[in-house]
Amino acid sequence: MNTVFLLMAEFGQADIPLEILASKYLGMSRKESAMKAMRGELPFPAFRMGSQKSPWMVRVTDLAEYLDSARKKSTQDWEARQSARH
């Protein structure tokens, strides 16, 4: 299945509040993720709609690309370890 469709099914929207996905996908608190978003240190783009008081948002396609990339790297690392064992 396509990661974007799976994320859309999970979150039900194209733009996901960073605070919702920070713990699950980044292992960090809401506050830490907001600070990293402000400094541009997240592994994907985050944005605010309107004012600085608006929540940080992440486009579902950007999150999907990040997750797919992380999975691909993990698979490559696993395959390298498997071939080294044999």
d(C-alpha 34, C-alpha 36), whole Å: 5
pTM of the model: 0.88
pLDDT tens per residue, range 28-75: 999 999 999 999 999 999 999 989 899 999 999 999 999 999 999 999
Helix and strand element counts for the chain (H, E): 4, 3
Residue type, 83: S
Whether residue 6 is predicted with pLDDT greater than 80 in this model: the reply is yes
**Number of folded domains in the chain?**
1
Question: Using CA atoms in the order 53, 66, 39, 34, what is the torsion angle rounded to 10 degrees?
Answer: 40
Structural domain range at position 52: 3-84
CA distances, 55 to each of 45, 50, 77 (Å): 14, 9, 35
Both tokens assigned to 49: 């709609």
